[in-house]
Amino acid sequence: MKSFWNESLENKLQFPEINENIETSVCIIGAGLTGLSTGYYLSKHTDVVILEKDKFCGSTSGKNTGKVTSQHGVFYKYLIDSNGKDFAKKYLNANEKAIKNIEEIVNTENIECDFEKESAYVFSSQENGIEQLKEEKKAVDKIEKEKCKYVKNIELPIQKAEAIEFENQAKFNPTKYAYGLTNCIINNGGKILENSKATDINKVGDKYEISVNDYKITADKVVIATRYPTINIPGYYFLKMYQSTSYALIADVKENLFDGMYLSLDMPIVSFRTVNDNGKKLLLAVGYDYKTGVEQTVNGYTKLEDTVKKMYPRAEILYKWTAEDCISLDKIPYIGEYSNLMKNLYVATGFNKWGITSSNIAANIITDKILGKENEYEEIFKSTRLEPIKNKDEFKNMLKEAKDSIILSKFKLPKDTIDSVENGQGKIVQVDNQKVGVYKSETGEVFTVKPVCTHLGCELYFNNHDKIWECPCHGSKFSYEGKALEVPGIKDLELHQHGEN
């Protein structure tokens, strides 16, 4: 489903598809906020080509909350406890600087993106949560965060809640901001290519050769900004992250709305902010996360809508969509060199749902590395760090295989098997001791795929709410017809002809 932000891209500049072999200094794979921000900085110094498999800012960057903030939930106590006070202070300062950087870009480049300064709040109405907030406030005080206070009343229409307020944070329309960046990149001589999917990267001498559609790009340096890295070895990012999907909606609540941006500490976690739609205030709510590929018994859209209507009974839902994010197991993004074994290849991933400030941090770190400059925040986000796996439950399924999912290229699909799948539903069925992914459209048309992720061979799960195949191991998503939608799976699912008995 199209997000509110992505609709603002309608009738905007369309970028060409690759139609020739290209040589460039830097090739950036991924035209979300990270790729475009990196391209913005680098295009001032060198030639840059940015590749996007679909449309720029069409995935996570065009489906996020649009919050530009250093308040990442109740997080700084965790950072102090796990990495020390100096580390936590650097993390805070990096994100605070990112807010200022983004504001500077908006002002300098005259980007119209509804940028607005506003306070951010993390709140709780439960006794245990309030205690956590008080401990978090102590942690934030230790790292000397300015313009932070503890408040005992918030504007949300819920039962009495307390909160930590970060002042001087911001919000904007992320796709309008991204569009502004694309104009700057083009004006600086950079190239942006849409519908141009990078399927392979090889080292050839001291350069990289990227296969894109039917062409090749040769580059001195490569930046992988695809949210989830598409190269498995070396790097092994598939062992250090998982993907999480959130539900989102925009509503006209038919009454006055609050000021500020809010994030609940109590479960389920839900984020609230307002958006400006041609002078009218609408409500944006995002939450009810789930680990991608794990079956949910209740539709998250319904849960989120119910939450909104408890606050605003007359709310009219205008938009619904989902967004996927990479979650690093130690909760810190990976930014910098892809691997110690692959020089001049860079990565930015694992933003843990805080991709707007993280995208600017990543762009500055990677730009400095490519230009041979030091960056004061490079070490805390070091992508080649060796950390123990801190979440054994998440790690258990990382190397799951689907050896029994190999199916024949042509098979008979029994009528009773077809009848077992309801119209508008999908599932995995057994055919001659083989597993087959079957989806039946609302009109009864049958689509069959090999239900094995093209990334590392994990067995897929069919999400009947969004009508897509999802990977429970690493978060790839595919349409019911088998088209690759979300990384790390970049190849389409194998399709199969079928007959009926």
Domain(s) labelled CATH 3.50.50.60 in the chain stretch across 4-8+22-63+175-240+331-392
Domain(s) labelled CATH 2.102.10.10 in the chain stretch across 403-500
Q: What is the pLDDT of residues 14-54, one digit of tens each?
A: 899 999 999 999 999 999 999 999 999 999 999 999 999 88
Strand, coil or helix: 157? coil
pLDDT at 463 over 90: no
Cα-based distances in Å from 174 to 4, 142, 267, 488? 10, 32, 27, 23
- Inter-residue contact 206 to 11 (CB < 8 Å): no
The CATH classification number of 68-169+244-327 equals 3.30.9.10
The fold adopted by the segment(s) 4-8+22-63+175-240+331-392 is FAD/NAD(P)-binding domain (3.50.50)
Cα-based distances in Å from 309 to 147, 262, 284? 33, 17, 13
Local confidence band at 236 (pLDDT 50, 70, 90 cut-offs): low
Which residues face 317 on adjacent strands? 251
Domain(s) labelled CATH 3.30.9.10 in the chain stretch across 68-169+244-327
Q: Does domain 403-500 have CATH number 2.102.10.10?
A: yes
Q: What is the pLDDT of residues 172-206, one digit of tens each?
A: 999 999 999 999 999 999 999 999 989 889 999 99
CA–CA distance, 472 with 418 (Å, rounded to integer) = 25
Local confidence band at 399 (pLDDT 50, 70, 90 cut-offs): very low
